[in-house]
Amino acid sequence: MSAWSHIFGLFSGGKSSYKAANRTRKQNKDWGSNNLGPNSAILDSNQTARNRAREAIRDNPHAQAGLEAYVSNLVGSGIVPRWKNSELQDLWDKWVIECDFDDCLDFCGLETLATTALISAGECFVRARYIDDPKAVVPLRLQLLESDICEDATSHTPDGNRKTLGIEFDHSGKRLSYWMYPDHPGELNQNSHHLTIPIPAREIAHLYRPTRPGQVRGMTWLATIIEKLYELERYEDAELKRKKFAASITAFITTPVETGDDLFGSDEGQDDDGNQIRGITPGGAYYGDPGEEFNLSQPAEVGSTTIDWVKQQLRDISMGYGVSYEMMSGDLSDVNYTSLRFGLSQFRRKCEQIQKNILIHKFCRKIGRWFVEAAVLSGKIDIPDFWDNPEEHTPEEWRAPGWEGVDQFKDAMADMLEVRAGFATLSEKIVERGEDPRTTLERIKAERETLLEMEITLDSNPNTTQKSGELHDLQTAAIINDIA
């Protein structure tokens, strides 16, 4: 608390002008009172939160479902570039198959894995590895590194530069290098994990989502829901055990003194008092002393309020996760076309923001620049003016997969009306479907020429048929073909 805040508190009796800052109640005294900076807060909590998030994704089906919903919508079949130079496009199409340093995935697979790490751990590092292989399409490989690889220390380097959470900055605040372990510090067979080495920043693509100005590392996207997920899981486990006990239908039985052996002819399972005990299992029984009463356990049934309460908890968790309740739970019982479409539109708008501001900006564009530089330097392609204006030879755009409609017929009719009314162009609608407009139009042109050559008439061709599917009269068809 600053000196001015203390002086103001003496005159105001501790009551703030804003209710959110009141400290008059005892329980509000320590509420939100730390003033840690964005990086100090991460240093204080990152490792524990990251480990708990990974455990939740491994063990909790709701956390796993939310992650898969994010990844499938953010990446889908892959975010791909469209190069201005056709030779670069051909070279890229060949390179993406062998771009993985670990030789496990193609480029789209690396996008999926990097996005998974971005959500679960809050960040992912991509290192450019240049190889000496004359048979390589381009001598560049991409190595994905987990967040744990970069040290969390905040100190100064021997050169006097500031090092914040393992990232070295020069005196102007520009990133110089990332201090990383040679191997993952959590692997049991590694002996040099306590030593870190600087990797130049130009060789690293750092994928993370900053939530505060000045933040240099990422925090898991599950940070706000980990505790609630854990408590809900414990509650569901307890409820499962209660139901299991209820299903056991345990009976407590007594026998007359005259009866010698027990009904089952065995004296196994006796307690210290000599009473026979059968486990709490379906049909289980407890044999008491003569004269004791016969009782049947009858645990209470789960009411509808419990189901509603669990649903509400999942809605809170999905809201904190950033996905819809239906995506996390798989429960579509309470949705209709309108509500489902509205929920998907909001989620997809968020996904488009993440695609543009994080995946494309921090991951795709930097890798595209690495690729073309490696291709030029290795002589795989000749671009005489590349170094004079390298930005002219980077991808013209990065295109994400299109969205599938909730009702494709209604969506198609809406798109057609927008194009007819001039509210959108045909190219814009093609892009929304994740396709390249020029490529699509060239395919349409080639297909129509083939149909004309083979004398095949389809009602999808407005040059020959009306919207109703009927053929144009000869005069109208001649006018349309002259315009075309």
- My answer on whether 137 and 257 are in the same domain is no
pLDDT at res. 164:
93
Spatial separation of the C-alpha atoms in residues 371 and 386, rounded to whole Å: 13
Spatial separation of the C-alpha atoms in residues 154 and 25, rounded to whole Å: 36
Q: For residue 140, name the pLDDT band (cuts at 50, 70, 90).
A: very high
Instruction: Report the domain count for the chain.
Output: 3
Give the residue-averaged pLDDT of 416-423: 87
- My answer on whether 218 and 326 are in the same domain is yes
Length of the chain: 484
More confident residue, 256 or 80: 80
46: nearest Cα among 201, 191, 219, 269: 219
pLDDT at res. 264:
45
Of 350, 375, 399, which marks where a domain is finished? Answer: 399
The per-residue pLDDT for range 143-194, each reduced to its tens digit, is 999 999 999 888 888 888 999 999 999 999 999 999 999 888 888 776 655 7
Of 340, 364, 399, which marks where a domain is finished? Answer: 399
34: nearest Cα among 49, 44, 26: 44
- My answer on whether 166 and 147 are in the same domain is yes
For 366, the domain range is: 37-247+303-399
- My answer on whether 338 and 238 are in the same domain is yes
**323 CB-side CA count, 13 A:** 26
The per-residue pLDDT for range 306-331, each reduced to its tens digit, is 888 888 999 999 999 999 888 888 88
Give the residue-averaged pLDDT of 214-235: 93
- My answer on whether 111 and 238 are in the same domain is yes
What values do phi and psi take at 483, rounded to 5?
-65, -40
In the block, tokens 């004791």 appear at: 292
The per-residue pLDDT for range 78-109, each reduced to its tens digit, is 999 989 888 999 999 999 999 999 999 999 99
- My answer on whether 169 and 192 are in the same domain is yes
Q: Contacts for 231-239 with beta carbons within 8 Å, 24 or more apart?
A: 232/310, 232/313, 232/314, 232/317, 233/59, 233/60, 235/310, 236/310, 239/302, 239/306
Give the residue-averaged pLDDT of 446-465: 77
Q: Which two tokens stand for residue 342?
A: 């509205």
In a domain, 384, yes or no: yes
pLDDT at res. 265:
44
In a domain, 446, yes or no: no
- My answer on whether 5 and 85 are in the same domain is no
Q: For residue 428, name the pLDDT band (cuts at 50, 70, 90).
A: confident
The DSSP code for 21 is G
- My answer on whether 15 and 65 are in the same domain is no
- My answer on whether 254 and 235 are in the same domain is no
Spatial separation of the C-alpha atoms in residues 266 and 254, rounded to whole Å: 15
Cα 356 from chain centroid?
15
In a domain, 444, yes or no: no
Spatial separation of the C-alpha atoms in residues 118 and 121, rounded to whole Å: 6
Q: Between the ranges 223-237, 391-405, 433-447, where is the mean pLDDT highest?
A: 223-237
The kind and range of the H/E element at 415 are helix 408-421
Residue 361 has pLDDT above 90, yes or no: yes
More confident residue, 264 or 104: 104
Q: Which two tokens stand for residue 105?
A: 């995935």
Spatial separation of the C-alpha atoms in residues 290 and 263, rounded to whole Å: 14
Residue 202 has pLDDT above 70, yes or no: yes
More confident residue, 354 or 2: 354
In the block, tokens 């590349």 appear at: 386
In a domain, 229, yes or no: yes
C-beta atoms surrounding 185 within 10 Å? 15
| Nearby residues of 71 by Cβ (< 8 Å), 6 or more positions away | 112, 115, 116, 119
Mean pLDDT of the chain, nearest integer: 82
Alpha helical stretches, state H, 142-274: 226-248
In a domain, 314, yes or no: yes
Residue 449 has pLDDT above 90, yes or no: no
Which residues partner with 206 through β-bridges? Answer: 125
Task: Among 282-291, 318-327, 377-386, name the one with the lowest average pLDDT.
Answer: 282-291
pTM for the complete prediction?
A: 0.78
Extract the runs of DSSP E, i.e. beta strands, from 196-339: 197-200, 204-208, 251-254, 276-277, 285-288, 295-296
More confident residue, 336 or 264: 336
More confident residue, 257 or 308: 308
41: nearest Cα among 179, 221, 198, 212: 212
In a domain, 152, yes or no: yes
In a domain, 413, yes or no: no
More confident residue, 365 or 329: 365
To the nearest 10 degrees (0 to 180), the angle between helices 337-354 and 61-74 is 70
- My answer on whether 322 and 284 are in the same domain is no
In the block, tokens 């209470």 appear at: 300
Q: Which two tokens stand for residue 166?
A: 């393992």
The per-residue pLDDT for range 5-56, each reduced to its tens digit, is 555 455 555 566 666 666 666 556 666 667 888 999 898 888 999 999 999 9
- My answer on whether 272 and 364 are in the same domain is no
In a domain, 150, yes or no: yes
- My answer on whether 324 and 186 are in the same domain is yes
Give the residue-averaged pLDDT of 360-383: 94
